[in-house]
Amino acid sequence: MNIYDIAELAGVSIATVSRVVNDSPKVSEKTKMKVRAVMEANHYTPNVFARGLGLNSMKTVGIVCPDVSDDYMAGSVAYLEKRLRSYGYDCILYCSGYEYEDKAAAVHLILQKRIDALFLVGSHYAGNGSGEDVDYVREAADTILVFLINGYVRCPGVYCVLSDNYQAVYDAVSALTETGKKGILFLYDSNSYSTMEKMRGYEDALKDNGISVTEDRKIFVQNKILTVRDMLLEKKDLEFDAVAATDDGLAIGALKYARKKKLSVPGDISIIGFNNSELSICCEPELSSIDSRSETLCKTAVDSMMALLKGRPVRHKKVVPCRLVKRRTTNF
Amino acid sequence: MNIYDIAELAGVSIATVSRVVNDSPKVSEKTKMKVRAVMEANHYTPNVFARGLGLNSMKTVGIVCPDVSDDYMAGSVAYLEKRLRSYGYDCILYCSGYEYEDKAAAVHLILQKRIDALFLVGSHYAGNGSGEDVDYVREAADTILVFLINGYVRCPGVYCVLSDNYQAVYDAVSALTETGKKGILFLYDSNSYSTMEKMRGYEDALKDNGISVTEDRKIFVQNKILTVRDMLLEKKDLEFDAVAATDDGLAIGALKYARKKKLSVPGDISIIGFNNSELSICCEPELSSIDSRSETLCKTAVDSMMALLKGRPVRHKKVVPCRLVKRRTTNF
DNA sequence: ATGAAAGCGCTAACAG
DNA sequence: CTGTTAGCGCTTTCAT
């Protein structure tokens, strides 16, 4: 059942049917009714390909993230999808993995789908501390609207929405020092843009509170609870009385360490996580965590897209403050 | 830059270019080389719409799930996407929510996208215990290949891949009785197909071990850790020494209850969860949980699709056994 | 307000 | 092995 059939059955031309489908104002209400009736009766649905060919758009956006099975990204993708759907957009999902080649390949591939916009979820697309290239993001921006969720790339055409990770960690670590903590560990598991921001916050907070930054207290470790615990267990000669982690999983690894060593939390050791995931309330004691408000980030990004599509200007960088959720692993 | 431009630049016809793009065997290697060179030099990429129009397929499948931010579904979606991508398929994601109308609407909408197959993730699409309709799944199967992950609908054209939840719970509850437990709670949070299977397993295990099934020990509760804990705290007159939950979140709620009541686990109360999520290793003590092996389910489903597409027959129902992961909240 | 007709870029049958 | 050509179903001028 195609547009010709409907046209014939309704006794009009295909142009009129097309206009009705697109709710064009220049069709009389009467004709619209008639045509709609025929369409309904025959369960007609326009062929999206043919339509795409004509319009060169399918009202589809691409969402690329390293891994949807990650809690943080899953939440972001869920929210993006929901909001985009509410505007009538479909979402093509692409999980790229974390490697540079894979990320670049994913972006290249998805660009060929003639999507209307590209959403990059997670700051892994903003390069890493080791000066990783983000050329593929820049290239994408030449072709298409790109939105970077929780990362920043200075480039016209790339609209960045990010949470203020620097300030959040700065404040948390400062608060830790104010409760008398001196040996504060920084646990991280990537070199992404946001992680580097968190690290800056950690370092500045220490400095501003008269504590010197030592490299051995900044620990890079895989985000597996038991791996973190065991790693900590092995650092016999490292003294610390608090840990700030860039992710709840890392923080819980520290919690497991404390338990193993029979250290009291937050007395002997204070712990603060990041992302305020479900993990943070399932451990014991419950974990204080920084909420990066990913829903707000996603909402902002989608709304920016709609604004841009309507020709309204949008800032290239929007920063949303984080929110500290105080629970039992800290004294403040 | 379209196929005509390439044809002209390469000095061949568009048909030849098309054949090269599709790697047809009936083009000489020489011509292929020449055409490919021109394509590369001009960064040519075929227009997917036009191609879709001709083939009436875009090598795209639909993945529908109630909510990707759920851990179990996120894992499944991630795995499906990965495997489908490896076969060259794109994935359109649709989060439908849990309500009947929304699920039906989602399926209807996504069918109009002329996808090549539909993957329904989670047994919520297999109706619920209250006899919910699954007509929309049946209808979908008229139009398209549909795969149901972890649910069962008896209908030709619907290919179901599910884990043996009945047996898994039957075995777990039997094991619980063998360690002397008599008052075993069954915590559940939905009426989905798989939940009903789990309940059957629970009931049969009790019966077969000489324990009578009482309605007040089967508790429907929202899957929120604190909600579960508080609900249990309020049941003053209910005696129990074990809990079998249909999801790790529920089980951890029970664990929080035990802690609040200063009950020893698994001594005073044994607990077993379901899904073997990250939650299960972040709590204290770590939670024994049933792994439904969703990766295997997803892999099987995708492979079934490929087989079907190649004209090979596939069984309408494939059952994968679960795996019990023993940790610290049970005595076996 | 409506219709006729020219594409959109590609695939596939057919012809050579 | 290669070219010609007729669609695929819709949008969009351009007439009327």
Q: For the segment A126-160, what is each residue's pLDDT rounded down to a tens digit?
A: 987 676 789 999 999 998 999 999 999 999 999 99
> Smallest CA–CA separation between A154 and chain B, in Å?
26
Is the shortest CB-to-strand distance from A98 to strand D under 7 Å? no
pLDDT of residue A170 exceeding 90, the answer is yes
Residue whose token pair is 């000669």:
A237
The pLDDT of residue B26 is 87
The bases of strand D with some atom under 7 A from any protein CB are 1-5, 7-13
Q: Which residues contact A285 (CB under 8 A, 6 or more apart)?
A: A265, A266, A327, A328, A329
CB atoms within 10 A of CB B52: 21
Before A25, cis peptide (omega within 30)? no
pLDDT confidence band for B291 (50 / 70 / 90)? very high
Predicted confidence (pLDDT) at residue B176 exceeds the cutoff of 90? yes
Nearest CA in chain B to A115: B48
Cα–Cα dist B169/A293, whole Å: 37
CA distances from A305 to A118, A120, A147, B269 (A): 10, 13, 8, 52
Residue B132 has pLDDT above 80, yes or no: no
Tell whether B77 is within 8 A of chain A (Cβ). Answer: yes
| pLDDT, position B332 | 87
The model's confidence at residue A114, banded by pLDDT at 50, 70 and 90, is confident
pLDDT of residue A56: 82
State the virtual CA torsion across B1, B5, B7, B8 in degrees, nearest 10. Answer: -160
Residue B175 Cα distances to B271, B274, B288, B330, angstroms? 12, 15, 12, 9
pTM for the full predicted model: 0.94
Q: What's the average model confidence in pLDDT over A64-72?
A: 96
pLDDT value for A169: 98
Report whether pLDDT(A288) > 80. yes
Give the model's confidence band at B57: pLDDT under 50 very low, under 70 low, under 90 confident, else very high. confident
Query: By CA distance, what is A48's nearest residue in B?
Result: B113
Residues from chain A contacting residue B52 (CB–CB below 8 Å): 48-49, 52
With H, G, I as helix, E, B as strand and everything else as coil, classify residue A185. Answer: strand
pLDDT for B128 beyond 80: no
Query: Residue B180 — very low, low, confident or very high, per pLDDT cuts 50/70/90?
Result: very high
- Compute the distance between CA of residue B37 and CA of residue B3 in angstroms, rounded to an integer: 14
Chain B contact set for A69 (CB, 8 A): 74-75, 77-79
Q: State the average pLDDT over residues B93-106.
A: 96
Q: Which two tokens stand for residue A289?
A: 């965590």
Residue B161 · residue B318 · CB < 8 Å: yes
Q: Which residues of A in 18-47 have their CB below 7 Å from strand D's atoms?
A: 18-19, 21-22, 46-47
Contact status, residue B177 vs residue B184, Cβ threshold 8 Å:
yes
The average confidence (pLDDT) of chain B is 94
The whole-angstrom distance between residue A57's C-alpha and the CA centroid of its chain comes to: 25
Mean pLDDT taken over chain A: 94
| pLDDT value at residue A37 | 93
Print burial letters for B123-138: b (CB count within 10 Å at least 16), e (below 16). Answer: bbbbbbeeebebebbb
- Average pLDDT (B54-72) is 92
The whole-angstrom distance between residue B257's C-alpha and the CA centroid of its chain comes to 29
Distance A300 CA to D2 C1' (A): 53
Query: A92 vs chain B: nearest CA distance in angstroms?
Result: 4
Looking at residue B92, what is its pLDDT? 96
Query: Scanning every residue of chain B, which has its alpha carbon at the shortest distance from the alpha carbon of A76?
Result: B69
Question: Would the pLDDT of A268 be above 80?
Answer: yes
- Report the C-alpha gap between A292 and A275 in whole angstroms: 6
Mean pLDDT confidence for B274-281: 96
- Please give the pLDDT value at position B89: 94
Q: Considering chain B, what percentage of its residues have pLDDT values greater than 70? A: 99
Indicate if the pLDDT at residue A209 is higher than 90: yes
- Of all residues in chain A, the percent with pLDDT exceeding 70 is 99
Q: Which of residues 18-37 of A touch B (CB under 8 A)?
A: none
Q: What is the average pLDDT across B145-152?
A: 95
| pLDDT score of A125 more than 80 | yes
Q: What percent of chain B has pLDDT over 90?
A: 88
- Cβ of B90 within 8 Å of Cβ of A92? The answer is yes
